[in-house]
Amino acid sequence: MLGEIGIAAVAQALERILPGQVYECSHLGGHRFAANVLVFPAGIHLGRLASESAVPVVADALAGRIDLAHYRGRVAYPAGVQAAELAVRNAEGIDAVADLSLVAAEDEVVRFRGADGREHAAVVEERLGPSVPASCGADPEPQAVLTAQVVG
């Protein structure tokens, strides 16, 4: 069972385990039927959550672990760095928030350092994606899509 979908259902499920710590808002990204969540203080952006999946995914994030299937990036990073970070985390299986640190973002190359001291790099490419409305009521237009490839 996937649980109920939508922003309100996810907010209600999270409020039960985090009373007084949940704030519901709109236009965070995604869609009203594919709820997104920001987890502070780490600034972890999670997406495509349902009421049932949100509880364990957010609990993991609060404990310093990222469910990579729902991970959208860290709000402190620009979009290209977020794409690179997700590519590196997926390639290396790094799900601990503290186990990957940004070293530098130069042109299209983004470098990180793992907890073990190893460096990881990804090349980010921007291309035009499908035409969709950029916001509510807007006409569809091609949207930028970022892809990242781990190198080295």
Residue 58 sits in the same domain as residue 86: no
Give tens-digit pLDDT for 66-82. Answer: 999 999 999 999 999 99
- Shared-domain flag, residues 46 and 84: no
Query: Quick one: pLDDT at residue 128?
Result: 93
- The pTM is what? 0.86
In which element (H, E) is residue 73 found?
strand 71-74
Number of domains forming the structure of the chain: 2
Q: Quick one: pLDDT at residue 1?
A: 42
Q: How many helices (H) and strands (E) does the chain have?
A: 3, 7
In three-state secondary structure terms, 1 is coil
How many angstroms from the chain centroid is the CA of residue 82? 8
Full domain range(s) for residue 11 = 1-76
pLDDT tens-digit map of 78-119? 999 999 999 999 999 999 999 999 999 999 999 999 999 999
